[in-house]
Amino acid sequence: MAIVKVINKSKNNLPQYETIGSAGMDVRADIAENMELAPMQRALVPTGLFVEIPQGYEMQVRPRSGLAIKKGITLVNSPGTIDSDYRGEIKVIVINLSTESQIVEPAERIAQLVVAKYEKVEWESSEALAESDRGAGGFGSTGKN
């Protein structure tokens, strides 16, 4: 299990896993009053959280399905990546994709955080790639029969 240091400057509890099988932890809006989002409006929502992620890990910021289906609110850059050397406040870029104005409330769960291990790669220039069953097929090509 990775250890992530956190400073919580919000009034909210720290994000936590809601069930034993949860991959993500819900993060809450650290705002003093309701934030109205017009249709197609984007906003940066602060969380009051500052983290120190271990090297070799990233923190992904992902949409919440409940917020998407109930209010039409999702994230513009999904998933967002928080690198291990970032020390600023975690802020979430939300967008209202519904046809009506929507409200983000103080302490509302606005996204989920997933900590993931990654590996760095080195590029190896080549003139050819190994053949595969899929080949160059993309954008839905695997569903053709």
Structural domains of the chain, with CATH: 5-119 (2.70.40.10)
Residue 144: pLDDT band with limits 50, 70, 90: low
Cis peptide before 15 (omega within 30 of 0): no
- The Cα-based distances of 38 to 8, 34, 45, 72, 98 in angstroms read 29, 13, 15, 11, 9
Residue 19, pLDDT above cutoff 90: yes
Residue 103, pLDDT above cutoff 70: yes
Average pLDDT of the segment spanning 83-87: 97
What is the rounded average pLDDT for all residues in the chain? 94
Residue 79, pLDDT above cutoff 70: yes
